[in-house]
């Protein structure tokens, strides 16, 4: 079965703090893609990153970084020096060749207080 678990329902931090959003996935497929999407209060879903299962290199993009570890089936997302504009719901997602469907986790609501 394919599954994405985001155990953190809500996180509240103060501006400039670092915050890590956890994502654990389940799949038996050896080929799959992992994603993070951001849903700000305005409601649209914004693609942030895609990772394939053969590339475990961590990635950094400005204040955002992602840590992919196949050994623990995790794909965690860290925001460094958080800002109020980072406040949103963040979704981790998975697609495999077996299902061909993008399966979303339940999301983590991040609130960054000024």
Partner 1 sequence: DAGVIQSPRHEVTEMGQEVTLRCKPISGHNSLFWYRQTMMRGLELLIYFNNNVPIDDSGMPEDRFSAKMPNASFSTLKIQPSEPRDSAVYFCASSFGAKSNTGELFFGEGSRLTVL
CB 104 within 8 A of CB 47: no
How many residues touch partner 1 under the rule CB under 8 A: the total is 22
The distance of closest approach from Cβ of residue 69 to partner 1 in the complex, given in angstroms and rounded to an integer, is 19
Residue 40 found at the interface with partner 1 (CB under 8 A): no
Q: Which is nearer to partner 1, 36 or 86 (CB)?
A: 36
Residues binding partner 1 (CB under 8 A) = 33, 35, 37, 42-47, 50, 91, 93, 95, 97, 100-107
């Amino acid at each position: 079965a394919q599954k994405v678990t985001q155990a953190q329902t809500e996180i509240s931090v103060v501006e400039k703090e670092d915050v890590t959003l956890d994502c654990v996935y389940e799949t038996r497929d050896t080929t799959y893609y992992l994603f993070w999407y951001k849903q700000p209060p305005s409601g649209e879903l914004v693609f942030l990153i895609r990772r394939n299962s053969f590339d475990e290199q961590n990635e950094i993009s400005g204040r955002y970084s992602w840590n992919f570890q196949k050994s623990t089936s995790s794909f965690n997302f860290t925001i460094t020096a958080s800002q109020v504009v980072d406040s949103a719901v963040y979704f981790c997602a998975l697609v495999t060749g077996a299902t061909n469907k993008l399966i979303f986790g339940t999301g983590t609501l991040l609130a960054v207080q000024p």
